[in-house]
Amino acid sequence: MKNKVFLFLLMVSFACSCNAKVAVPEWKDVSPAMYSNIDTEKTYKLPIKQYWQERKIKFEAGLASCNEQFQNEELEKCYDALVTLEKSKNKIRETILIENSRSILK
């Protein structure tokens, strides 16, 4: 009987370690602070707000896709890829804004 209880506890312990919680990235981690609380349901007139709203909607869809398809280490990799993609978009946008500013100042 002791062996069965020990084996059961060992199996539960192993199962719990395999299903460790993966930190879910948040929009505020990948967006400018100014747009971290942008409402995905609201209708915005300003193109810049529309841009960040669309980015947030796509980010949330990416999270949902990761959650539907993966678990554990693979889920973490999916989240990492999503965060990397969003940060790359930020860098591209920043580069475009800098280049546009330079051309205006010429």
Q: What is the pLDDT of residues 62-95, one digit of tens each?
A: 999 999 999 999 999 999 999 999 999 999 999 9
> How confident is residue 1, by pLDDT bands cut at 50, 70 and 90?
low
N-term to C-term CA, the chain: 84
